[in-house]
Structure 1
Amino acid sequence: MDLRTQDPDDYLAADEVIDATHPEVRALAAELRASTLDDALYAKAAFEWVRDNVSHSFDVQDPRVTLTASEALRERVGLCYAKAHLLTALLRVEHIPAGLCYQRLADEATGGHALHGLIAVYLDGSWHRQDPRGNKPGVDAQFSLQQEQLAWPVDPVEGEVDYPTVYTAPVPEVVDALKRADDVLLLYRQGLPPALKE
């Protein structure tokens, strides 16, 4: 399957990981949508819900592994990847194109690099990246269609990379790493996927 495309309509499908048709995902989407018919306001509400109500696994030291959107919703915990999967599903179920994006960031745990997952939403005729990772001291990600306010800026001097592609589905590097993991904190400490295989 080609994970890259230019047609926003290709970013509406559910799959095994972005399980937007799951009853619990659909129920949360309906609850969030009930307060607004405006797609941008709904997208902001979904972003803030995932950012603030699903804890980042490392921040709360929770070893449970979540991969799919419905797992992240049910357990209310996940790494950046699972949180991105849930936000993507919440947008797609409401017919708002959304895809997955990645950054290669310096990894203090290993001294190397690690992939960071975030999303892009298609509104007002263009893509806008959003980072639902979860805020903490030093991290202040906000929903914006005007100017990106992501969790971390990329520093090319440190070998960090902003990958430009918006993917229709999670990349295999992420899915395989999470499927093999029994303890997400151990995965985090021993090394997340370090880069995309492009």
Structure 2
Amino acid sequence: MKSIKQLQSLPGLVLGLLLVLVPLIGVSGYVYVQHQGAQKRLSDLEPRYARLLGLVGQQSQIEDAVDQARQLQDLYIYPSTQDVSQVGNAAQQRIRDLFTSAGVDVQSSQVLPAKTDHRFDRIPIQVRYEGEMAKLQALLVAVGTQPGPAVLVEGMTVQILTYATNQAPARLTGQINFFVLRSAS
């Protein structure tokens, strides 16, 4: 009799065991999937964290480089405290002085409207000139080596007025497009 009762309770026991094991297996699978996802995220974050630690370790060097960049910016770019038209006029006068000191005649010069490029106002200046080739070369060298905010050459055209002879050097005419930068902020 005992064996018949055991056989009758076996399906109930198996069913009870399944009712306990199925949710346990489901929860275990869910925990495993979540654990694998967390491991993947950690492995993705590890290189970023290492880079951040490297940046923190080099913080003083980065601050020094930023300070040096600001100092260079102050040397080569007009400050935002000056008005755009004042900057354009001052740069135009500097350029005209360079032409005069190099012995190149200025036919006309014009400050064009400023354009904003990200953090800077770009102020174009056009100069029409006439002069000798050697003096024009000296002018271009002087533009590149002058102290103060940088005057940059964007483009130029050159035409020959007269060819060189034994009595006179070649004369050139053309236009040089300069620009200067002013901090917009």
TM-score, with length taken from structure 2: 0.26
| Higher Cα Rg, which structure | 2
- Decide which structure has greater strand share: 2
- Decide which structure has greater helix share: 2
Bigger relative contact order, structure 1 or 2 (CA pairs below 8 A, ≥6 apart): 1
